[in-house]
Every structure is written in C-alpha cells, then in structure tokens.
Structure 1
Amino acid sequence: MTVSSYGADLTLAGRLADAADKITTARFRALDLDVSSKPDRTPVTDADTAVEDAIRTVLAAERPGDAVAGEERGGAAAAPGRVWVLDPIDGTKNFLRGAPVWATLIALVEDGTPVVGLVSAPLLGRRWWASAGGGAFVRDDAGEHRLSVSGVRTLADAYASTTDLGSWTEYHSREAYLAFTDACWETRAFGDFWQHCLVAEGALDVAAEPIVNSWDVAAAQVLVTEAGGRFTDLTGAERFDGGSALSTNGHVHDAALALLRVR
C-alpha cells in the first residue's frame, strides 16, 4: 500500500471500520432489529446509531481536536479544519430487508476537501480505501490491489449506474436522466456506495445520483479521484456537499455533465 501523509488517519479509519463491521454483521437479519423513521421518512435502525456512537467514542479519545459529522448524530461536514464524516450504514433499506449490499462509510475532510475515504462492505467481502496522494485500493477475496478507472472514452461505450427514476423525477430532471441513459451503452441501478466504488475499480465508467447527503459521498470522492477518475456534483463543481453526485473515469465526465445539467 502506498504511504501518504494521511497514513495514520487511514490506519485509524481501518480500525473504526473493524469496530463498525462487528456491530453491523451481528445485527444483520436480527429478529429484534429496531427500526424507526427519520423526519424525511428514511429508515434508521439501532445498528445505525450503535455504529455511529461507537466510532464517535473512539474519535473523541484518539482525535479529540477533530470535529465529527454523521448521518445520525449531526454535525457540519464541510466545516473548517478536520472533520470525520460518517455514514454508519449506507444502504439501510437493504440492511433492514436482509439484502447484503450495504456499507459503513468513513471520510476525513480537511478544510472542505476529502483526504481519506474508506468504504467497508463486510457482507460483500470488500473494503475500499484511499488517501490524498496515496492511491486507491480494495481488499477482496483475491487479496489487496490498487484501483484504476476504466479507459472507455465515449458515453456510447459506457457502462453506467444511477438510482431509481422516481428520484430523478422528484429531485432533478426526468428528461436529463432519459437523455443520459439513452446515450450510454448499458445502464444499471447498483445505487448507493457500490456504484462509485465500481467506478473506482474500472467495472463501471460512470455513476450519477440526483440527490445525496455529504456523508453519502465524501469517501467516494477521494476514492474515485485517487483511482484516476473525476468526481463532481451535477453542476460540475468538485465538491461532495453539493447535493448530487457524478463519478466517472474522467474521459466521459464532460459528456455526462452536458446531458445531466438542468438548463
């Protein structure tokens, strides 16, 4: 693994993910799983809050000068200084329905820029991580290896992933979505963290989301860019807190933006 100036933070992120995985795997498909709804009607389980609380406890002890922002307990993700940005379970709907596609997302944001990102999906047997200047990596059944985005050059040859059509209609543009998907070679809806990780791996060429929160994509931004790709919101701004997300191999980014921007 390439060593960057954020090596100690990346090591800590790995320990935080280990602690999270112990909680999530123990609660996955638990018959007594407690499920409630947040004000936006999205679900939250007792595992979500337990993971975030456990991570915050460790960070308070080991990085007392750093701020923390998380999906369940709040905080400002783009505040000045160092902020750990947490999504305890990304893919909570999958988690509570017994589908194995969910992950804990951990990012370190420094003065508004993600510099460390880690995604741990224990039921998929995969963990992805990256740090600024240190490259992007994955550990799976084949071991640990460095990530690199694909070399596909045109949308006509691009393998794309998005979220459901209803989200595009409600939060962005049905017409832009249809223009984008029609322009691509093949489109799937892997959704959530996985599609951005697959862009970093080179398995996908582009992933787009019409609505996201900061904790959904802070880790994805550093992962995709360190793998050689591009990450922006749907206006083209290189930010994780713009409310939308587009990750690509870089080659097809401008073409995707041209179709997805709302005029």
Structure 2
Amino acid sequence: MTGYADDLALAHRLADAADAVSTARFRALDLRVESKPDLTPVSDADTAVEREIRALLATHRPGDGLLGEEYGEQPPAAPGGRRWVVDPIDGTKNFVRGVPVWATLIALFEGDRPVLGLVSAPALGRRWWAALGAGAYAGPDLAAGTPIRVSGVTDLADASFCYSSLTGWEQAGRLDAVLQIMRDSWRSRAYGDFYGYMLLAEGALDVMVEPELSLWDIAALVPIVTEAGGTFTDLAGRPAPAGSGPDEISAIATNGPLHGDILARLGRPAER
C-alpha cells in the first residue's frame, strides 16, 4: 500500500457512514425532495449524507479542505494543499425514483491532482476504490477487495460504448458524432452517472463519455479508471478533471487503446 493507506481507510469509514444514512432513506415513504436553483433534485438523504461526511472529516482531517455538492467549499483548502471532494449521492434522480443505481463519491486531491477515489453503491452491494500508485479494486469493503483492470479491446467495432444522455450531446453540438460512434460500436448503452465509469474500470465496457460535469461528479472516478489502466481526459484531450470552472468539465474515459479514435471523433481544441 502507498502513502495513502490511512486516507483510503478513512475514505472507507466515510463510505460506511454514508451508506448507513442513504440506505435508510432509499425508498422511504417520507423522503423529502426539493429542486435546487438549477432545477436538479436534492433529497434529504443528499444533505444528510454530506453532513455526516463533513462531521467525520472535521474530526479526522481538520486541516484538509472540503468541497461538497450540497454545502460548497468549506473549509477551503490551502493553496496547493489537500482537499476532499464529495458527491453525497450521485444519481439523485435514480435515488428518488427507487432505481438502485446511485452512489456516494469520495475523492482526495493534492493540489489539482486527484490522488484517491472511492465509489460506494450500497443498493448494488458494490464498492470501488483506488489510490495513486496502488491500483484499483472492487468489493464489499477494504479487506475483501480484488484488483480490477480495463479491457484490452482495440477496435471500436468490438467495443461496448457508454454515454450519459443524448440530450447533453445534442446541446454540446456533437450528437451526430455520438450517433456515428454508436453505429460503429459493437454495442451501446446509456448506464449513466458513475456506473458507466466503474464498468469501464472493471473491463465490462470500453468507453464512457459525458459532455458536461461538475467536479464532484468526476473527482472520485478519475483515480479508479486510471489506476485500472484506463485513460481519462476531457474533450480537448487534457488529463481530467480539467476546465475553467467547477461546472465546465467534460469526460472521455476509455480502456486506453480506443482513446485516440474517440477523442478524434468527439474532441475539441483546448481553450487558449
């Protein structure tokens, strides 16, 4: 194990606490759901999970910064310092409709680099994690994890292609390119949110793309995909997460051999 062993153990403790809160509220008849200013839903489970994680980090890592989807950046990280980035429930729309594909995402940054990621999907009975230089793993908990690895597929005609939604690609002006990739692929499915990236890391599919994300959507996914041997960039080919703001992030994640082809089809020049 690398120098992030203690942080990874803590991340699992955070996930255990988050899972206890979220599973108790999943499919609850009294679940409260409101709309945020951007019209996306937020449930009482989202806010409760983030509060629980914040309380634990305040105790165990009081010197670290923290950015959460629901309560923002508090405390801020020191310049170039450590910062935890948390999405309390990724897949809230699934959560509030009773679909079991949702997860808590936990990442640790050193400066601008994500060095640790953990994804916990308790309704699926599955957890994925990675730390820089330590490989990627999946399993029920830290003690029972097994290594995961991306596929070796080299031709798009043999590849399973995954995307978030066609609407997003239409708004990004790349719907025709996405549809052509779907035609040229062996198989295409829209698993969405964190799940496509985790299936990629496990070698169950070969490409996952999204045109617009927030930092908390992607932070935990990058170390898992890359430590599993995959490649993760934005649409301009820059190592993810990249962008001029927290809500201006895009993603092309592949098993590696397919990355150049997908980037050529969907990519855009880097902003000057």
With the length of structure 1 as denominator, give the TM-score of the two structures.
Answer: 0.95
- Aligned partners of 2:118 and 2:129 also within 8 Å: yes
Residue 63 of structure 1 corresponds to 61
Report how many aligned residue pairs link the two structures: 260
- Aligned partners of 1:107 and 1:116 also within 8 Å: yes
1:108 aligns with 2:114: no
What amino acid is the match of 2:19?
D
Q: Secondary structure at the match of 1:123?
A: helix
Percent identity, aligned pairs only?
57
Q: Which residue, 25, 46, 49 being the options, matches 1:27?
A: 25
After superposition, the Cα gap between the structure-2 partners of 1:78 and 1:241, relative to the gap in structure 1 and judged at 3 Å, is farther
Residue 246 of structure 2 corresponds to none
What amino acid is the match of 1:198?
L
Give 1:172 shift. 4.4
238-247 vs 226-235, which deviates more?
A: 238-247
Distance in 2 (alpha carbons) for counterparts of 1:29 and 1:201: 28
Residue 256 of structure 2 corresponds to 250
Task: Give per-residue Cα distances to partners, 1:51-96, cap 9 Å, x unaligned.
Answer: 1111011111111110000110112799631110000000000000
Give 1:179 shift. 2.6
Task: Give per-residue Cα distances to partners, 1:97-133, cap 9 Å, x unaligned.
Answer: 0010000000001111110100000010100000000
Give 1:171 shift. 3.1
After superposition, the Cα gap between the structure-2 partners of 1:78 and 1:177, relative to the gap in structure 1 and judged at 3 Å, is farther
After superposition, the Cα gap between the structure-2 partners of 1:78 and 1:233, relative to the gap in structure 1 and judged at 3 Å, is farther
1:9 aligns with 2:7: yes
What are structure 2's unaligned runs of at least 5 residues? 244-248
What amino acid is the match of 2:29?
L
CA RMSD after TM alignment: 1.7
Structure 1 stretches of at least 4 aligned residues deviating more than 4 Å after TM superposition: 76-79
What are structure 1's unaligned runs of at least 5 residues? none
What amino acid is the match of 1:252?
L
With the length of structure 2 as denominator, give the TM-score of the two structures.
Answer: 0.92
Distance in 1 (alpha carbons) for counterparts of 2:70 and 2:148: 30
77-86 vs 27-36, which deviates more?
A: 77-86
